[in-house]
Amino acid sequence: MGLRSAALYGWLDSAGITDGTVFRRINRWGNVERRALTPQAVNLILKRRIAQGGQDPSAFSAHGLHSGYLTESVRRGIPLPDAMQQSQHKSVQQAARHYNDAERQLEQAARLIT
């Protein structure tokens, strides 16, 4: 099991999560709630952590991570429907836009190498 998988399964185990969303609210007493974090909360957490790491938080966003997943899926040859199951994009059109943009960039980069 890779480091990322170990971290994920460690969180699920310690939080007692067996179903539902992975990223959940933690109340002021440290109890993990069933409700998912809002997109705004995820973005705020991401930006705080980026700043703590000494980087410019304005260069990062939760949306960027979400669409970046599709970009990486293209690079790894994962079909769009499979990637959408993980990214949970609700709109094929929106997911396809990210996916197709990444495919075009990959094709342009490949031409530079050959």
Q: Does the predicted model carry a pTM greater than 0.85?
A: no
- At 55 the pLDDT is 94
Cβ burial 64-73 (10 Å sphere, 16+ → b, else e): eebbebbbeb
In whole angstroms, what is the distance from residue 25 CA to residue 56 CA? 25
Res 71: pLDDT: 79
Per residue in 5-51, pLDDT (tens digit) is 788 889 889 989 998 888 899 999 999 999 999 889 989 999 999 99
